[in-house]
Amino acid sequence: MDSRVKDIEMQLRDAILGSEMSRYEIAKRAGVAHSQMSLFINGQRSLTLTSAAKIAHVLDLELAKKKRKRKAR
């Protein structure tokens, strides 16, 4: 799998684990099955883009373009 995808998954996983809400509460608010959330947290499966977006919304996260460093001339 592309390392950029893994990076996004790790960031989302870290946000879930670092949240003051329980995983159950996040899943419930996002409309995602708690079992799906558990499998994702344990690294046993990925989330669909729709599920990831719902969870990100609950956690007040957004996908942003990364600023790239300019090469010196």
DSSP code, position 64: -
- Specify the pLDDT at position 67: 78
Share above pLDDT 70 across residues of the chain, in percent, rounded to a whole number: 90
pLDDT tens figures, 22-53: 999 999 999 999 999 999 999 999 999 999 99
- Counted domains in the chain: 1
Helix axes 23-30, 34-41, angle to 10 degrees: 130
Look at residue 27 and tell me if it is in a domain.
Answer: yes
Look at residue 39 and tell me if it is in a domain.
Answer: yes
pLDDT tens figures, 2-25: 666 678 899 999 999 999 999 999
Look at residue 65 and tell me if it is in a domain.
Answer: no
Look at residue 73 and tell me if it is in a domain.
Answer: no
Please give the single-letter amino acid code of residue 52. Answer: A
What residue numbers bound the domain in which 32 lies?
Answer: 3-58
- Specify the pLDDT at position 65: 78
CATH of the domain at 7: 1.10.260
pTM: 0.81
